[in-house]
Structure 1
Amino acid sequence: MHQPWFRKGLALSMLLLFTLFLSACGGNNDTENSKGNKGAKDEGPKYTFRLAEAHPADYPTTKGDLKFAELVNERTNGRITIDVFPSAQLGEEKAAIEQVQLGAIEFTRISSGPLAEFNKDFGVFSLPYIFDNDEHVWRFLEGDMGRQLLDSLEDSRLKGLAYYSSGSRSFYSTKELNGTDDLKGLKIRVQQNKLNIDIIEALGASATPMPYGEVFSSLQTGVIDAAENNYPSYYSSKHYEVAPYYITDSHQRVPEVLMMSKTAWDKLSEEDQQIIQQAALDSVAYQREEWDKYEKESEQMVRDAGATITEVTDVKPWQEAVKPVIEKYRSEYSEILDAIDQAR
């Protein structure tokens, strides 16, 4: 039979262990409450994902990608790492989309222009002059229809996470540009979708779809006479060196899309999905700030380099020239165009 002192010591030991157990539980709860459920986020599988980016490392969309990756890494306490590969290291945009569909690459940032080949609703962004300015664009993108468009990518095995800014697109050429008449007969590079081809043909020019990475050499060798893009791309690609005439017609405002492979998305826990989705949305403000800053810097740099910038003060002749394109596609995009009008 155990002695009383032994039984008393055993009881004290059990009480001490029970107290320590309660303290540990309470400590975990305090940590979770004070650090945003940190304990839970430390648990679970570790991932290293890849994000394909066509633009250079110092470009605003790439900076947005990096901010997104940083937020995900921080909010999972290093458990999820997203490596960003700029300058089309993992392939040009169309190839990147296809690899993301297959799950070979987990993320990409893509222009909504090429996305129209995978989800026809995104072709609406290629319609000319449907937005008045950037404020109009973002009122639409942040509304219900903007979110519905991102969600609709799931039908193409893609998960739309957020939109990034890309300003407005204008024409630039190896020859002087002063108005719509100067585009007639030119061979103009366009993004790879049918609607862009229709716009160029409506302007009396010849559309030449090609990957972004081939534009510089094609302008240099005369394969094409002109292209179209925003100031940051015009500058960062050095296209101003071989096509020094830029006209600010602002015919399109085509947002960028940050997206994930639906295959990879479906393998994540609900908590990790929420972290990734929120990190994408939280990276938008930073990307937009970087865009606005770089857009101003780019314009100044190409001016300083000797590019001739022609300001368009009256867009009506441009709108009139491409009006048949709007009418051709109006019925196809009627619901989305109504939402764009409501955001005006």
Structure 2
Amino acid sequence: MQTITTSKLLYALLLTVMTLALLLSGCQNRALDLEQVGEDERIVIKFSHVVSELTPKGLAARRFAELVHERTDGLVEVQVYPNSQLYMDGEEVDALINNNVQMIAPATAKMTEFFPELLLFDLPFLFEDFEQVHRFIDSEGGQKLLDKFQTDSMLSLAMWDNGFKVMTANRPLYTPDDFAGLRFRIMPSRVLEAQFAQLGAQTRDMPFSDVYAALERGTVNAAENPPSNLYSKRFYMVQEHLTVSNHGYLGYLVLTNQTFWQGLPEDIREILEETLAEVTQWERKIAAEQNKRDLERIINSGEIEVHYLSEAEKAAWREALMPVHQMFLPDIGTELLQGTP
């Protein structure tokens, strides 16, 4: 009697264990279904950039990642690394070439070594507003120009806005003579070097991540930035004067690794390209809105004295800087320069 009871108990226990195992197995299968694709199937795109997530570029990169995940059912995962988390200014291009990252969006100034025609976008007072910039980029000539920005290891996909630059310094900047002797942080660009040399200022190029400390310590005592960068990185907290000059446009070239991109399945590449085109239009809208909003925030902070150039002052700046355009005609080309507004 006791043996039969023991057998029944063992049988019941075994049945319970098997049932639990089946239930757990079912739960695991459901969890995997929710993931949609396995780790070994997922296509990972590392997107590295050097500015805040809260800037137009940072927001656009994040939106691109979210839309791609949604439209590929999780097959493509765009991992965004802002604030130089992976690579600094001088490192990200090499990282892209070596396929350590698959997308970057450097300022056009940083790519002039590879594509001299990009010097066009650094020219002072070339564009008056975003509308002129977009009209040029979207024109036949502008699209042909973007198509030229590729090498064996890099491919241009789009161009994103940041905004129009303003000047900050530790003294007021009203006239061209006010620049004499100042040390400006710049991005590596021969046009920007020439721009400030024309105004009697010195320059020092350095990674974006080092700018706040350099301004705070006085290694440099002036800079040019769109309001979105000025606000997100709090540069206005370590400068005394801001001049709203809107003297130059800052844009980004969205680049990918050529071999990686061409190796993607055609249907996936088509989704990525269509999504990027959509995000580019969205980014243009928020760039204009955010720069306007961030400039207002800087003004309202009371931390820095703000001066808007009068029409007469702007005319004097423009006259002082027009020789820079002629200096770079051999690099840019007369036809390309004449195709701008």
Q: Report the TM-score range of the alignment, normalised by the length of the smaller protein.
A: 0.7 to 0.9
Which residue number in structure 2 is paired with residue 316 of structure 1?
315
Q: Report the Cα offset of residue 129 of structure 1.
A: 1.2
Aligned pairs for 1:1-344 (under 5 A) are: 46-155=42-151, 157-306=153-302, 307-314=304-311, 315-333=314-332, 334-340=334-340, 344=341
Which residue number in structure 2 is paired with residue 33 of structure 1?
none
CA distance in 2, matches of 1:177, 1:52: 35
Q: Secondary structure at the match of 1:55?
A: coil
* TM-score, normalization by structure 2: 0.84
Q: Which runs of 5+ in 2 are unaligned?
A: 1-36
Q: Secondary structure at the match of 2:163?
A: coil
What is the identity percentage for the equivalent residue pairs of Structure 1 and Structure 2?
A: 23
Q: Report the Cα offset of residue 54 of structure 1.
A: 1.0
Aligned 8 A contact 1:102 1:263 in 2: no
Q: Report the Cα offset of residue 280 of structure 1.
A: 0.8
Q: Report the Cα offset of residue 219 of structure 1.
A: 1.1
CA distance in 2, matches of 1:313, 1:275: 47
Q: Secondary structure at the match of 2:253?
A: strand
CA distance in 1, matches of 2:292, 2:249: 17
Q: Report the Cα offset of residue 238 of structure 1.
A: 0.6
Q: Report the Cα offset of residue 153 of structure 1.
A: 2.1
Cα RMSD of the aligned pairs, angstroms, is 1.9
CA distance in 1, matches of 2:257, 2:248: 27
Q: Secondary structure at the match of 2:95?
A: helix
Q: Which runs of 5+ in 1 are unaligned?
A: 1-41
Q: Report the Cα offset of residue 247 of structure 1.
A: 0.7
Give, as a single letter, the amino acid of the residue that structure 2 aligns with 1:157. S
Aligned 8 A contact 1:60 1:290 in 2: yes
CA distance in 2, matches of 1:84, 1:185: 40
Aligned 8 A contact 2:154 2:255 in 1: yes
Q: Report the Cα offset of residue 45 of structure 1.
A: 5.0
Deviates more, 1:314-323 or 1:225-234: 314-323
